[in-house]
């Protein structure tokens, strides 16, 4: 029974370590791609955006990272599609299209957040659409990436892998020494304390 629990513990520890390692790699890739492009992080042609409001909950939670696909014909969208558009120079919004409005040569979209009671006050010109939401979201990861792309966060990400490596190395050495000590104790010959009288 002890062996079974020990095996389960080792497997669980390995899974947790692997998951944390993958999460760290993912975040490092986001930060590096963000710094390299000088703007939004990109992975395989998809942009990663942080959601700052709950207007699209429950599907997209506040603080999530979402993947959007930029480019293409911005007049192609249909009712029900979720788009990311420029509301102002500094503000992007991701909402669902509830109506398509054709006005002469222009195509406009009436949009609404799934969690909002009413549609957005102004329709969106197709020229102001920057990307389409792909359906990929990582809940709450945006809080981390916002910190990671800041000056202090970037510095921490440079130092953190080294610290984690040192801790892991120390733990591995400690376990190896403990195993060696255990093996020495179990393999030591027993001393017979009985004495033979001297003739």
Query: Active-site residue 154, yes or no?
Result: no
Catalytic residue among 13, 34, 53, 121: 53
Instruction: Say how far apart CA 166 and CA 178 lie, in whole Å.
Output: 18
Q: Are 126 and 101 in contact (CB under 8 A)?
A: no
- The pair of three-digit structure tokens given for residue 71, joined into one six-digit string: 């480019």
Sheet holding 46-50, edge to edge: 42-43, 46-50, 65-70, 129-138, 82-86, 92-103, 106-112, 124-125
**Burial of residue 40, with CB atoms counted within 10 A of its CB: 0-12 exposed, 13-18 middle, 19 or more buried:** middle
Please, which residues have CB within 8 angstroms of residue 122's CB and are 6 or more apart in sequence?
none
The distance of Cα 98 from the centroid of its chain, to the nearest Å, equals: 30
Instruction: Say how far apart CA 63 and CA 142 lie, in whole Å.
Output: 5
- Give the residue numbers annotated as catalytic, written as ranges: 53
């Amino acid at each position: 029974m002890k062996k079974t629990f020990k095996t389960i513990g080792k497997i669980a520890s390995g899974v947790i370590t692997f998951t944390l390692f993958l999460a760290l790699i993912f975040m490092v890739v986001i930060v590096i791609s963000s710094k390299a492009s000088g703007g939004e992080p990109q992975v395989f042609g998809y942009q990663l955006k942080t959601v700052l409001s709950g207007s699209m909950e429950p599907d997209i939670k506040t603080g999530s990272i979402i993947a959007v696909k930029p480019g293409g014909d911005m007049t192609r969208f249909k009712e029900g599609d979720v788009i990311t558009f420029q509301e102002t120079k500094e503000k992007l919004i991701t909402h669902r299209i509830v109506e398509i409005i054709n006005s002469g040569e222009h195509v406009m979209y009436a949009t609404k957040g799934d969690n909002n009671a009413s549609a957005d006050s102004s329709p969106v010109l197709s020229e102001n659409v920057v990307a389409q939401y792909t359906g990929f979201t990582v809940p709450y990861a945006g809080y981390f990436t916002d910190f990671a792309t800041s000056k202090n966060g970037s510095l921490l990400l440079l130092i953190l892998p080294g610290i984690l490596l040192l801790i892991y190395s120390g733990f591995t050495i400690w376990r190896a020494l403990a195993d060696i000590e255990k093996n020495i104790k179990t393999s030591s010959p027993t001393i017979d304390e009985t004495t033979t009288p001297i003739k």
